[in-house]
């Protein structure tokens, strides 16, 4: 049953304080877009819950009227996940930002979804612990679970799905469930964590997350190694992994992106294909790992390798890497970032990157390459004028060529950014008949298709 915005707002004010039900245009505009190049769309109303009970009440109202609901963290998505194309209610989780429990003996933490990665790690440091997933943005943990985010440390610690022990989820009808428990392993029932992590807000709203954390390493060493070609760098990565060196991070940045790094961060690194590496362990173990790594990189024509042990120097190195996307945005005012996100088997990585470079050259767009190459995931960063249809078309063609190359070699269209709306068209090619199973899960949990509708895939109708 359709409902007027006025009536919807009044019903929401019946379950939330008036100041947390917002129809102000400025606030709605802030929730109409993300970091992607996709067109914006205003929600009818933005709500700011503080508790699971409030989220449940919101969902009961939405379910009663068939009103679309879009969960919102900080809006750092690159694929249009939080854009409310069917208007309705945007649920902003920024006030659900409490660290509820730290179980240091169990290496677990329980948090609300609006807690950010840096907020959590600041608190965990007091206990000698840290949370491992490290995407470029300081995203919320709820958003990171929704997209199955990863980042620079995935090669050692795994992706977001590997860290989730339990989720508290509010379903489309307002029912509250838990998807797991506190045990380190379980063979009981279906693995619901795996269903909900990466579901991009289409199956439920996360209101609590229980996550794995780790002890802060005794010693940390960072390194930077430059190479004459990307292929030399990639072959070095493959050999480092084959040698069983317990690398914690291994990132590739191409020559164009190294120029951006220097320009934005006022550094003077060599402007050549470069690996950024990090090692975690004890002093004796690190010494062996570093010597072995030096042998391997010099066997692959490494021109220079520099190691950093001091915290400030390491942070400067990784800040330069993490700021790379922002450096492109800063250098191309008026344009929006479009990032490819394929992930391929390591054996296919060199070929996939070479194909990406050739595709860029053929289409005449400027684009840098960087990636979490330790797990086969890399990005082409394209700066696109969203109002220039020809430029957007070229960028889409580049992305499609890179995606189809990856899919034909056993890869995926998205390693960590998620599907949103930007990768929807590749779902059938990637999943085949399994997509029908996903649609059945969606229809079973959200029969009205009110939860972030038409993200991940597009159902034929919305009743």
Helical ranges in 148-229 per DSSP H: 154-157, 160-163, 192-196
pLDDT at position 463, please? 44
Nearest to 273 by CA among 155, 368, 345, 377: 368
Residue 57 backbone dihedrals phi, psi, to 5 degrees: -65, -40
Distance of CA 294 to the CA centre of its chain: 31
CATH architecture group of domain 334-418: 2-Layer Sandwich (3.30)
CATH architecture group of domain 5-94: 2-Layer Sandwich (3.30)
- Return the domain boundaries, the chain: 5-94, 99-215, 219-325, 334-418
pTM: 0.93
Do domains 219-325 and 334-418 share one topology? The answer is yes
* Token pair belonging to 1: 């049953």
Within a 10 A sphere around the Cβ of 299, how many other Cβ atoms? 12
CATH of 99-215, one of 3.40.50.11240, 3.30.420.40, 3.40.640.10, 3.30.465.10: 3.30.465.10
DSSP 219: E
CATH of 219-325, one of 3.30.70.2190, 2.40.10.10, 3.30.930.10, 3.40.470.10: 3.30.70.2190
* Residue pLDDT tens, the chain, 463 long: 578 999 999 999 999 999 999 999 999 999 999 988 889 999 999 999 999 999 999 999 999 999 999 999 999 999 999 999 999 999 999 999 999 999 999 999 999 999 999 999 999 999 999 999 998 789 999 999 999 999 899 999 999 999 999 999 999 999 999 999 999 999 999 999 999 999 999 999 999 999 999 999 999 999 999 999 999 999 999 999 999 999 999 999 999 999 999 999 889 999 999 999 999 999 999 999 999 999 999 999 999 999 988 999 899 999 888 889 888 888 888 888 899 999 999 999 999 999 999 999 898 887 899 989 999 999 999 999 888 999 999 999 999 999 999 999 999 999 999 999 999 999 999 999 999 999 999 999 999 999 999 999 988 654 4
pLDDT at position 309, please? 86
Distance CA 403, CA 277 (A): 27
Distance CA 455, CA 79 (A): 10
Nearest to 103 by CA among 189, 213, 17: 213
List C-alpha distances in Å: 134 to 71, 80, 285, 371: 21, 21, 24, 13
**For the chain, what is the largest distance between any 2 Cα atoms, rounded to a whole number of angstroms?**
69
Burial of 126 (C-beta count, 10 Å sphere; 0-12/13-18/19+): exposed
pLDDT at position 462, please? 43
pLDDT at position 130, please? 98
């Amino acid at each position: 049953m359709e409902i007027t915005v006025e009536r919807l707002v009044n019903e929401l004010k019946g379950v939330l304080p008036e100041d947390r039900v917002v129809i102000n245009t400025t606030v709605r505009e802030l929730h109409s877009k993300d970091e992607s190049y996709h067109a914006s769309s205003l929600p009818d109303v933005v709500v700011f819950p503080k508790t699971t009970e409030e989220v449940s009440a919101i969902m009961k109202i939405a379910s009663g009227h068939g009103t679309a609901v879009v969960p919102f963290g900080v809006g750092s998505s690159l694929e249009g996940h939080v854009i409310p194309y069917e208007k309705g209610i945007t649920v902003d989780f920024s006030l659900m930002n409490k660290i509820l429990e730290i179980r240091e003996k169990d290496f677990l933490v329980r948090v609300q979804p609006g807690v950010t990665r840096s907020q959590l790690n600041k608190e965990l440091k007091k206990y000698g612990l840290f949370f491992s997933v490290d995407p470029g943005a300081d995203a919320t943990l709820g958003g990171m679970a929704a997209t199955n985010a990863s980042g620079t440390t995935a090669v050692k610690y795994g992706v977001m799905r590997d860290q989730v022990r339990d989720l508290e989820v509010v379903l489309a009808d307002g029912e509250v469930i838990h998807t797991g428990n506190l045990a380190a392993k379980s063979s009981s029932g279906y693995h619901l964590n795996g269903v909900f992590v990466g579901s991009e807000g289409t199956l439920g709203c996360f209101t609590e997350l229980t996550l794995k954390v780790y002890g802060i390493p005794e010693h940390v060493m960072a390194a930077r190694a430059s190479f004459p070609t990307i292929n030399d760098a990639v072959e070095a990565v493959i050999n480092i992994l084959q040698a069983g060196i317990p690398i914690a991070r291994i990132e590739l940045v191409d020559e164009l992106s190294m120029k951006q790094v220097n320009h934005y961060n006022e550094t003077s690194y060599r402007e050549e294909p470069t690996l950024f590496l990090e090692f975690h362990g004890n002093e004796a173990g690190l010494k062996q790992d570093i010597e072995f790594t030096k042998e391997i990189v010099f066997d692959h024509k490494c021109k220079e390798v520099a190691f950093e042990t001091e915290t400030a120097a390491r942070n400067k190195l990784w800040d330069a890497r993490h700021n790379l996307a922002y450096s492109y945005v800063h250098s191309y005012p008026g344009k929006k970032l479009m990032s490819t996100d394929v992930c391929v088997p390591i054996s296919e990585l060199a070929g996939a990157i070479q194909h990406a470079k050739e595709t860029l050259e053929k289409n005449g767009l400027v684009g840098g390459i960087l990636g979490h190459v330790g797990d086969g995931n890399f990005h082409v960063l394209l700066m696109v004028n969203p109002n220039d249809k020809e430029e957007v078309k070229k960028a889409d063609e580049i992305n499609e060529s890179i995606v189809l190359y990856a899919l034909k070699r056993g890869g995926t269209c998205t390693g960590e950014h998620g599907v949103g709306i930007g990768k929807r068209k590749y779902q059938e090619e990637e999943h085949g008949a399994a997509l029908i199973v996903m649609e059945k899960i969606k229809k079973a949990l959200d029969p009205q298709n009110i939860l972030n509708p038409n993200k991940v895939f597009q159902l034929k109708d919305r009743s």
